[in-house]
Structure formats: structure tokens, C-alpha cells
Amino acid sequence: NQARIAHTFIITGIFLDWGFENGFLGFDITNRIATLYDEGKHLVSGTTLPHIGQAVVAVLHHPQATQNNRIYIADTTFTQQEALFLFEKYTKSKWTTKQVTTESLLKQGAEMNQFRDKVLLILLQCMIHPVSAE
């Protein structure tokens, strides 16, 4: 029987405030440009950093009840289209939109990964078989 480390997973979805502030969610607030992934129709769940902090405190206050469990939290569930509607409503301006498919991003990521793998292989070969500069 293996010893287990007590744990609690807090499943938060995306970090809403951080994600919007940094453009991570596809919204460039300064330039009013929205990048919609797969037409922005898919639902995503998200939580603000203060709510995540409250969840951590609650877990720490109830260790027995949360031990070895997953705790799911979310402030909201929305689509990018819904977020864009609200951004346009509250900024009182029409935003520029870019359409991107997740399929194209996956393909691009796979291509980048192949390049990275080749670079790592070359670096590894250089470390294993160094060539003297003399």
C-alpha cells in the first residue's frame, strides 16, 4: 500500500480578470480587437482571482471535508460572443474581430513543436558530443 499525500484540487476554469487584462482570452481591450476562436460560440467557465483566493481559504478552513477531492468553482460561464457583446455595449463602440479556428492553432502548435524538437535534439547532441574549439 503506497502512502498518499493529502491534497485538494481547486478547478477554476480560466482566470477571468487576469485573462481579460492580459489579452489571454482573445480580447485586446486597449485596441478594441476581439479574436474569436471557432466563431466565439463555445461556452467557457471562469473565476476571478479574489474568488479563487476565497476558495483556497475555504479549503484551508475545512481540510477534512475537502481532503482528496476536487472542488469546482466558477463565477460565470459565457461565450466569447457574449463577452464581445458586453465589451461593445459598455465601451459604446464596435470592435474589430478576427476569426481563428482552434484546428489551425493545433496545426500551428504541432509544427512549432516539431521545430522545437529538432532544436532540442541539436542542443542535446552538442552537449553529448561537444566539439573542441581548438
DSSP letters, 47-67, are E-HHHHHHHHHHHHH-HHHHT
**24 vs 40: which has the higher pLDDT:** 40
Q: What is residue 126's predicted lDDT score, i.e. its pLDDT?
A: 59
**59 vs 123: which has the higher pLDDT:** 59
Q: What is residue 121's predicted lDDT score, i.e. its pLDDT?
A: 63
d(CA 16, CA 27): 11
In this predicted structure, which of 13-17, 40-44, 94-98, 109-113 has the lowest mean pLDDT? 109-113
The tens digit of pLDDT for each residue in 82-122 reads 999 999 999 999 999 999 998 888 888 778 777 666 666 66
**Residue 122 vs residues 46, 113, 114, 131: alpha-carbon distances, Å:** 40, 14, 13, 13
The tens digit of pLDDT for each residue in 49-91 reads 999 999 999 999 999 999 999 999 999 999 999 999 999 999 9
Q: What is residue 113's predicted lDDT score, i.e. its pLDDT?
A: 72
How many residues belong to the chain? Answer: 134
pTM across the whole model? 0.74
Please, what sign has the CA dihedral across residues 122, 108, 94, 19?
negative
Q: What is residue 58's predicted lDDT score, i.e. its pLDDT?
A: 97
**124 vs 19: which has the higher pLDDT:** 19
